[in-house]
Amino acid sequence: MFRRMLRLCLFLAVSFPSLAHAAPVITTPSALNFGNTVVMSFFDQDLTIQNTGDTQFLSVSSIQVSGSGFSLPSGSGAYNIPIGQTVHVPVRFYPTTRGLKSGTITIASNDPVTPTKIVPLLGTGVAPVLSTQPPSVLNFGTVAASSFLNLNLTISNVTTDGASLGTTLQVNNVAIAGNASFTLTPPGSTTVPPGSSIIYVVRFAPTSGGLATASLTISCNDPLTPTKVISLSGIGAGPNIATSPPGPVDFGSVEVQSSADIPVVVRNGASAQADLVVSAVMLTGPDTPSFAFVGLPALPWIVPHGDSVSFIARFHPLSPGTKLGNISIASNDAFTPTKNIALQGTGTAFLPHIDAVVDVPNDQGGKVMVRWLPSSYDTSPSYAIASYTLWRRILTSSATALPEGSFATGAEPGPGSIIAGAQSTYWEFIATVPANAAPGYAYMATTGSDSLPGAIPWNVFFVQAKAAASNTYYTSPVDSGYSVDNLSPSAPAALTGNYAGGATHLHWSPNAEPDLYGYRLYRGSSAGFVPGPGNLIAAPADTGFSDPVAGAFYKLTAIDVHGNESPAALLSPQQAVDATETLPKVMSLAITSANPSPSDVRLRFALPTAGEMRLVVYNVTGRVIRELEAGMHPAGNWSARWDGRDGAGRAVGSGIYMVRLTGKWGTATVRCTLLH
């Protein structure tokens, strides 16, 4: 049967040749070759499909593509192609890796002879490949501050999988971000052919000690590695602070108000030439008052490499118990910007300790208050202290030596006893105070003298605690203080003034204070003027002064040897008497105030000529009570005042008194009565 059909077809083909082409015929390129295409980019070519038949439409029902990197960007559509016509189907090659790639396009159509047409696809992915040496980290190690180190960064365009697959590497940018100690020197060209390299020089130039980091970023046309980051790191060999002792420091047990010292050395242990700059040295912690620095050099310190600075750390506990502190040293050491040294010590109080020697306020001086803290034995449950004795230093005497700040044995001293301390210093017994486990004790002690302007007579004391069960004494360290006269004199009394010869003659009663130094006289233009250095006109030691000015206001004060100044007594121009209105013809004396008088007596006397005179108050027995005026006196009418006090400043009693004026002109006497 098959043979009969075959013979029929051959007969028809020979007899009717036109019937052999009466069908669509698909015609395509034998293959599509995309050549070299850069990885991660694409290259499009058109696939031409032509109907070369002569009777029908060529119907393409599907177009399928296979193979890595090949695709149909317009999709696999269907086409009807007339006789003699062609369609263009775009085919894309997009390699993602380097190397030769292959694929196929399969076309299904109504071509009866070739219903499935396969077109081979070829293409090669090519690209530059970025490589660096070192690959990811450029470590400079340790570099001395203020110097530098250069390292090379090599950028290569590698061709390990064949030079034919490579293209030119274009380095678009290389930049450093981070610490400014890192800088970059680029090469002359940034174009790298396949298999070639270029070198960037990276410099690390630290300006201070410590770790420095940065990042170097490379931007290029490597499609797979367009950006690469290299980490940069280096250590600046700056100053290195070291202390001796390194800490912590334990001072051990130290008596309250005594002290213990430990030297502290700050050293620059840098491995390179770099100065250590110490900007601050401070005491911190909960018990800072119990610690101190001695001999601390002025800051800042500039400590060269290998050099050191030293000072003393002192522990001086103010009370018993454990004390904590800290030395904080700030410097330019980048790794240890603050060096801390812990401090510890224990305050003990077996000895009593003088807390203060202070002036007794609001008195005439001559006394100080000595306050002391008890021995730690003067507490529950032992109550081992019986009493405390207070001693004051004196200049001369003789006795048995006793070291200060110690304990000794012997008989209890009595009042007036004297002992000798170190360096032939002698001590006078002041008082005994019984112990009663009190938190503190005090005694008001007398002093030899008070402080004066520019001179302070220090009074030095120590306290001994006597054990209750034995003749053992615990002696405190010495302490000192001084007394102050806090009371000013009274204002001068009986200030009077008389005008004569264009001058104002002032008189007043003497003050009775035993420490009186003198007076200060001030002149002003109104009653409200304020006494001061600018209007001080005299500092007389006596009770009179003649001012070659008339019609002024005067204020008079008294001052004692300790510089205390009294309130001021005021004399206005209206209170002064014009002694030269009419010169008297004879000497006279009269009382111008009430008589009897409850307080003082005001007098008026006349002198016809200048001369020596005396104005004196007597009692009825003829005893001198007070000399009011004495000496050379100008002629005129004058006033005087007796304040009812004797020459020592004491108030006299009620009674009858005589006031007598004597001179070359004779004697005048008046009688006055005081009724208190």
Given this model, what pLDDT does residue 255 score? 84
Given this model, what pLDDT does residue 507 score? 85
Whether this prediction's pTM lies above 0.85 is answered by no
At which of 283, 314, 348 does a domain end?
Answer: 348
Kindly state whether residue 444 falls inside one of the protein's structural domains. Answer: yes
Which residues are CB-neighbours of 563 under 8 A, at least 6 positions away? 452, 453
Q: What are the φ and ψ backbone dihedral angles of 6, each rounded to 5 degrees?
A: -60, -40
Q: Are residues 374 and 473 in the same domain?
A: yes
Kindly state whether residue 12 falls inside one of the protein's structural domains. Answer: no
Q: Are residues 363 and 477 in the same domain?
A: yes
Tell how strand 43-51 and strand 86-93 pair up: antiparallel
CA–CA separation, 93 vs 68, rounded Å? 9
Q: Are residues 513 and 525 in the same domain?
A: yes
Domain of residue 164, CATH code: 2.60.40.10
Regions of the chain with pLDDT less than 50: 1-21, 397-423
Q: Are residues 442 and 369 in the same domain?
A: yes
Given this model, what pLDDT does residue 399 score? 37
Distances (CA, A) of 473 to 157, 180, 216, 433, 470: 95, 71, 79, 14, 9
Kindly state whether residue 8 falls inside one of the protein's structural domains. Answer: no
> Domain tally for the chain?
6
Q: What DSSP state is assigned to residue 489?
A: P
Q: Beta-strand (E) ranges in 332-424?
A: 338-348, 353-359, 367-373, 385-394, 401-402, 407-409, 418-421
Q: Are residues 612 and 651 in the same domain?
A: yes
Give the structural domain span for 297: 241-348
Given this model, what pLDDT does residue 402 score? 40
Given this model, what pLDDT does residue 403 score? 38
Given this model, what pLDDT does residue 408 score? 37
CA–CA separation, 279 vs 302, rounded Å? 9
CA–CA separation, 298 vs 109, rounded Å? 101
SS3 label, residue 47: strand
SS3 label, residue 424: helix
Kindly state whether residue 16 falls inside one of the protein's structural domains. Answer: no
Kindly state whether residue 6 falls inside one of the protein's structural domains. Answer: no
pLDDT digits (tens, 9 = 90+) for 78-90: 899 999 899 999 9
Q: Are residues 513 and 562 in the same domain?
A: yes
Tell how strand 130-133 and strand 149-157 pair up: antiparallel
Q: How far out from the chain centre does Cα 153 lie?
A: 47
Which residues are CB-neighbours of 233 under 8 A, at least 6 positions away? 137, 138, 139, 140, 211, 212, 213, 214
Tokens representing 545 are 């002064």
Q: Are residues 611 and 641 in the same domain?
A: yes
pLDDT digits (tens, 9 = 90+) for 433-462: 999 989 999 999 988 777 777 778 888 999
Q: Are residues 37 and 90 in the same domain?
A: yes
CA–CA separation, 39 vs 98, rounded Å? 6
At which of 577, 612, 645 does a domain end?
Answer: 577
